[in-house]
Structure 1
Amino acid sequence: MQPSHTKLDLWKPNYLEDIHPGREVHVRVPSSQLYDTKQNLQQKKISFKVLINDVQKLIDEQFVSERRHKKSLDSFIYTKYHPMNEIYEWIFQIQEAYKELVSLYSLGSTYEGRIIYYFKIGLPSNTRKKIIWMDCGIHAREWISVAFCQWFIREILNQHSRSTRVHKALENIDFYIVPVLNIDGFIYSWTTDRLWRKSRSSHDNGNCYGVDLNRNFDSHWGTIDASKDCRSTIFCGTSPASEPEVQALSQLVNSLKSDIVCFITMHSYGQYILLPYAFTKDLPINHAEMLSVGQTAASKIAETHGAQYRVGSASHILYSASGSSMDWAAEKGIPFSYTFELRDNGTYLFFLPEDQIQPTCEEATAGILSIVDYINENHINGVSSVFSGTLWINLSVSLVIGTYLSVQ
């Protein structure tokens, strides 16, 4: 199959240069090219299987559910995907309902002028508190990440009065949570193109739009698995932090970085807990500790509903990439930095059905709360050292992946 002759939508990995023998590849094939593509693969003796027979059918099903308008917070349905107008409504309802725990702030504005809100969640304190950062929706089509942020916020707010572990965490930690970072792109994925990934900034005199915001940070910007072509789904922008969304996040995190102990960014799909670095095979000096904490989180996830998450540095177990927020946070000196790639492993890809929202969110919450517990007990609650005694152990993680080429 010659990519120059057959135009397919590459979903995994993100870049042609990252396709190697023995590596799993996911592509979306137009129905008009399906027969020829299968024939071509068979002639070249490349094994494949069809993961989704009809992508459009899955897209249509996600827009069938009844839209809800101006309902109370008590009637909000956390097991459905919500468009941005409903999420804005929910944001203000959360602020109003939990005034003793929640403060609402503006992170900044998107390219199209929409306000990016973030919550500060924690119990009042007379002393300066440590921070756990979380953002969702940096890639527009990854709706489950946005649904997770809403679920997680609901959980910690509801559990603080009846769960000792959550209450103790909220005493010592403030959570800074951005429910949707890429608001313009998220709205576009609802109104125009369900598979849209990027933001919506204009480039090349309006001939193409959007930047992959997770390629726009200045962590070795534009060097690996990033494109300078604005038409690419992984276009990294015109310069590091060229996008207002990244500028807004960078400015706030930079101002708080001495207090942030953990930076978590939520994505889909693949079921990974990724550690720095994505741009190099080198490992951060506290890799052993981060790996151990991540493995515990994966165990808690598996205990919840049986889902298996792989843990390790991105460049070792997934692919190399530059410009990611996870690597950027690690280079800023934030001790713990993780990227969660939520469900699933390739059955539904970016179209995770709504009946999987609850188990996905329950297991991811269990995993993240295990990270919170560890940080609270070992690096905040009476512990002054930021790193444990295992900090200086360097580990190398390698994983052999059985591979097939999947087409739709």
Structure 2
Amino acid sequence: MSGPMRPVLLALLLQIGVASVERVEYDYYKYHPMPEITAWMAQTVKDHPDVVTEIAYGTSYEGRVITLLKIGLETGIKKKAIWMDCGIHAREWISPAFCQYFVKQLLQEYQTDGKLGEMMKNMDFYVTPVLNIDGYSFTWTNSSNRLWRKSRSPGPAGCDCHGTDLNRNFNVNWGTVGISSNCCSQVYCGSGPLSENEAQAVAQFVAERKNDFLCFLTIHSYGQLLLLPYGHPNAVAPNYQELMEVGLGAAEAIKKVHGMHYRVGTSPDILYPNSGSSRDWARLIGIPFSFTFELRDNGTYKFELPEKQIQPACEEAYAGALHIIDYAHDKQFGHSGTAPATTATLWMVLAAALVSSSALL
């Protein structure tokens, strides 16, 4: 080809070539189906190989691999840990959106925020963006079931309904209050404690490391609540008062961001009694700081929070989560943590000492 059209065509081909290799920026302020979240996890590991690894720790009923992101600086010593899971209830789409936002913020800020950098040295963050993978996928692929809550395992013999409420399936006061033995119920607790693959995966992974975890955060919606153990009205956490104080501090941190009010307390006190929750199970096995976040809103949109509210909802919840994590970290390590002084810091101290000495001569 010759003539005036040739340079135009070459320029067009060059543009197409450049566009084909450009990576589309991930949009943290829209809801994503499971394949996109899976791809995002892989890309996050690729972008931050020095601090992020992906760990498969279970398989859903329908055969999907349950994975988490482990985030932390390699120090060569055994570290403490923070647990966070999202999407245990399929219809609560703002929950997986928050876990992704949390990871993004952590990775963006730890290099410039001294406190976050200290936390990354002292602790590893284990973040599961979507725990109930089958249920979450079902809400995307079956438009008439956008509000599906449970897992997708079949009910017991003779039951035509599917699914168990994974947050009623943990082995803590199982099957006692706030549950149903009717397999068609939204709060069906399963055929027995830990009968569900997804609950088993969490219980095994966390229990094997229970002495490492300082904090267990499970993210839900809706209601703007911070729930602490226990869900059974006759059970009281041994550190109830401390949990209340930490929760109230987190609620205050949340309010400072966009003015949203979160209530704090046990589920029987501010919501309803329940049993078999992962929050209660985590406290029972000895993890000191265990909280359920119920994100926006208070009932206007319920489980269908508009995408325009993803950013403010995540920003405020991030502040609340960091308050709890910060408290747990400082209680374990002290305000200065255990990070050793850097060479630069030592030289600064030495220089200051020399200046002081010369001033006395």
TM-score normalised per structure 2 = 0.85
Alpha-carbon RMSD: 1.7
Distance 1:147 1:115 in 2: 19
- Identify the residue that residue 279 of structure 2 maps to in structure 1: 326
How big is the shift at 1:283? Answer: 2.0
2:188 corresponds to which letter in structure 1? F
Contact 1:283–1:313 (8 Å) recurs in 2: no
Q: Deviations over 1:260-292 (max 9, x none)?
A: 110000000000000000012432111111111
Aligned residue among 253, 261, 265 for 2:214: 261
Counterpart in the other structure of 1:338: 291
Look up the match of 1:109. 59
Residue 279 of structure 1, aligned match among 228, 232, 238: 232
Query: Whole-Å Cα distance in 2 between the matches of residues 264 and 370 of structure 1?
Result: 12
Is contact 2:139-2:147 (8 Å) kept?
yes
Asked whether the equivalents of residues 73 and 90 of structure 1 are also in contact (C-alpha less than 8 Å), the reply is no
- State the one-letter code of the partner of 1:137: G
Partner of 1:362: 315
Is 1:230 paired with 2:180? Answer: no
Q: What's the CA shift for 1:244?
A: 0.6
The match for 2:147 is 195
Alignment check: 8 A CA contact 1:269 1:346 kept: yes
- Aligned pairs for 1:18-29 within 5 A: none
Report the 3-state secondary structure (helix = DSSP H, G, I; strand = E; otherwise coil) of the residue aligned with 1:203.
Answer: coil
Q: How far apart are residue 73 of structure 1 and its match?
A: 6.4
Q: CA offset at residue 380 of structure 1? A: 2.5
1:211 maps to 164
Q: Which of these residues, 228, 239, 246, is aligned with residue 293 of structure 1?
A: 246
> Where do 1:132-151 residues align within 5 Å?
132-151=82-101
1:394 is matched with: none
CA contact (8 A) 1:102 1:119 kept: yes
Letter in 1 for 2:278: S
Match of 2:174 in 1: 221
Q: 2:21, 2:229 → 1: CA distance?
A: 41
Distance 1:381 1:235 in 2: 43
Indicate yes or no: 2:75 matched with 1:125.
yes
Q: Secondary structure at the match of 1:344?
A: coil
Give the superposition deviation at 1:161.
1.1
Query: Do the aligned partners of 1:272 and 1:310 also contact (CA within 8 Å) in 2?
Result: yes
Offset at residue 109 of structure 1 (A) = 0.5
Partner of 2:37: 87
1:201–1:75 CA distance, 2 compared to 1 (3 A)? same
The DSSP-based 3-state class of the residue aligned with 1:176 is strand
Q: TM-score, normalised by structure 1?
A: 0.75
Q: CA deviation at 1:242?
A: 0.3
Deviations 1:45-67 (A, max 9, x none): xxxxxxxxxxxxxxxxxxxxxxx
Secondary structure of the corresponding residue to residue 79 of structure 1: coil
Structure 1 gap ranges (5+): 1-69, 385-408
Cα deviation, residue 114, structure 1: 0.2
- Contact preservation (8 Å) 1:73, 1:93: no
Q: 2:17 maps to what in 1?
A: none
Letter in 2 for 1:198: K
Q: Secondary structure at 2:317's aligned position in 1?
A: helix
Secondary structure, aligned partner of 1:274: strand
Change (3 A) 1:220 1:155: same
In structure 2, C-alpha distance between the alignment counterparts of 1:378 and 1:323, rounded to whole Å: 28
For the residue of structure 1 that corresponds to 2:175, the secondary structure is coil
Whose helix proportion is higher, 1 or 2? 2
Distance 1:297 1:165 in 2: 17
Flag as ranges the 4+ runs of structure 1 deviating above 3 A: 70-74, 381-384
Q: Which has the higher contact order (CA 8 A, sep 6+)?
A: 1
For the residue of structure 1 that corresponds to 2:83, the secondary structure is: strand
Deviates more, 1:157-166 or 1:201-210: 201-210
Identity of paired residues, percent?
Answer: 50
Aligned residue pairs, count: 315
1:179 Cα deviation (Å)? 0.6
- Segment of structure 1 superposing worse, 369-378 or 321-330: 369-378
- Output the amino acid matched with 1:288: Q
Task: Report the secondary structure of 1:103's partner residue.
Answer: strand
Residues 155 and 266 of structure 1, relative CA distance in 2, 3 Å threshold: same
> Which of the pair has more CA radius of gyration?
2
Q: Which residue of 2 aligns with 1:184?
A: 134
State which drifts further: 340-349 or 280-289: 280-289
Query: Cα deviation per residue 1:91-120 (whole Å; 9 max; x = unaligned)?
Result: 100111111110111011000000011111
Residues in 2 aligned to 1:82 and 1:100: alpha-carbon distance in whole angstroms: 26
SS at match of 1:256: coil
* Secondary structure of the structure 1 residue equivalent to 2:298: coil
- Are 1:273 and 1:339, in contact at CA under 8 Å, matched by a contact in 2? yes
C-alpha separation between the residues in 1 aligned to 2:156 and 2:111? 53
CA distance, structure 2, for counterparts of residue 260 and residue 98 of structure 1: 23
Unaligned runs of 5+ in 2: 1-19, 338-361
1:297-332 C-alpha deviation (Å, 9 max, x unpaired): 100100000000001111211110011000000100
Cα separation, 1, equivalents of 2:155 and 2:236 = 35
Cα gap change, 1:84/1:71 in structure 2, threshold over 3 Å: closer, same or farther?
farther
Match status 1:99 vs 2:49 = yes
Q: 1: distance between equivalents of 2:186 and 2:21?
A: 36
Give the Cα–Cα distance (whole angstroms) in 2 for the partners of residues 271 and 74 of structure 1. 33
Instruction: Look up the SS of the partner of 1:360 in the other structure.
Output: helix
